[in-house]
Amino acid sequence: LTKQAMNRMPEWDKQINEWTSILNSASEQFQNGIASVLPVKNACDYCDYDLLCRVKKSSNN
């Protein structure tokens, strides 16, 4: 690895830890029966699963 890449390693470690934490939390919630969908604003604009997903339908209520 280059010196520049080596300097970014702590940033990657921090990012990987954050992703791991988020995935572990989502997994625990799902295992406990919590499967809520909370997309960020405008996320549905870029999603190809609108025919399967009920996010827009439920947000219109």
pTM: 0.54
Q: What residue numbers bound the domain in which 39 lies? A: 3-59
pLDDT of residue 56: 66
Residues of the chain predicted below pLDDT 70: 56-61
- Work out the end-to-end distance of the chain between its first and last CA atoms, rounded to an integer number of angstroms: 53
Number of independent structural domains in the chain: 1
Identify whether the C-beta of residue 32 lies closer than 8 Å to the C-beta of residue 43: no
